[in-house]
Amino acid sequence: MTSPLDRVDTSTAHSARVYDYILGGKDHYLVDVEAGDAMCRHWPSLPVHMRENRRFMHRAGRFLAEEKGVRQFLDIGTGLPTAPNLHEVVQKAAPESHVVYVDNDPIVLTHARALLQSSPEGATAYVDADMHDPDAILDSPEFSELLDLDKPVGLMIIGMLHFILPPDDHRLVRRLLDPLPSGSFLAMTIGTADFAPEEVGQVAEEYARQNMPMALRDLPTATSFFDGLELVEPGVVQVHKWRPGDGQHAVDDRAIAMYGAVARKP
């Protein structure tokens, strides 16, 4: 029987492992360290940017659970487990919450057990699938068993969309959103070079050299992903400016290359 780790390609960097390395994790290889170091040389603010992206996920998940009563979530592009994970955030507010995690990285798959440590009242599951194949997600037994499509779902696409290139980007987001009922929410972060174009552009070039091409989007393009949805205040803003709360520390806008927003499906 083959292990998920047999699928790991240690000759090329992987976005989830680079992310893990830059955030101080342990699940990466030398090639990921070299790529991450090169990216940080281009843009020393990259670790700050990545941490703020994750903090947005925490705030958005908490907002949906506490203020909007959402009790089930679909998390696309989960990444390597970094506490608190989404289910820990939402189950703290509502222990009965269900979370379906989705990723296609074999290292994430080996850590899926850590992602499945749900509260006794709730449930979590992991789907080994790619956002480029939304039907594999929507047709999975985990999706149908944990998510009741008669009730709102929080669709979380965090730190993922910049790896989904046009012209497929809008279609793939809509394919995941379309089956979800009215009253569901989309929480998404969208990479941009609007605030540090030279540095972020160099990071994007480094990703491309590592065979991870990305699309960086300006504000009108980022906002277009929420067409037909009801944006929650303050709308589409840099992630550190989305409902930061009283405890938010000061962050330089030039250190953040991600827009974030939450919107309701009518």
Residue-range domain boundaries for the chain = 9-264
Q: Would you state the structure tokens that stand for residue 131, as one six-digit string? A: 């956002």
Cβ-based neighbours of 90, under 8 Å, separated by 6 or more: 61, 62, 64, 65, 70, 73, 97, 99, 154
Round to whole Å and give the CA distance between 32 and 78.
18
- Which residue stretches of the chain are H helix? 15-22, 30-42, 46-66, 86-93, 106-110, 112-115, 134-138, 141-146, 169-177, 197-209, 219-224
Say how many C-beta atoms besides its own lie within 10 A of residue 58's C-beta. Answer: 16
DSSP state of 248: P
Say how many C-beta atoms besides its own lie within 10 A of residue 52's C-beta. Answer: 25
Give the residue carrying structure tokens 């997600």. Answer: 137
Round to whole Å and give the CA distance between 46 and 7.
28
The tens place of each residue's pLDDT in the chain, 266 residues long, gives 445 555 566 778 877 788 788 877 777 888 888 888 988 898 999 999 999 999 999 999 999 999 999 999 999 998 877 778 999 999 999 999 999 999 988 888 888 777 788 999 999 999 999 999 999 999 999 999 999 999 999 999 999 999 999 999 999 999 999 999 999 999 999 999 999 999 999 999 988 988 889 999 999 999 999 999 999 999 999 999 999 987 667 899 999 999 999 999 99
Cβ-based neighbours of 236, under 8 Å, separated by 6 or more: 190, 219, 222, 223, 226, 259, 260, 261
Architecture of the CATH domain 9-264: 3-Layer(aba) Sandwich (3.40)
At position 136, the amino acid (one-letter code) is A
Cβ-based neighbours of 27, under 8 Å, separated by 6 or more: 17, 20, 80, 107, 111
Strands 237-238 and 230-231: unpaired
Contact present, 98 and 146 (Cβ < 8 Å): yes
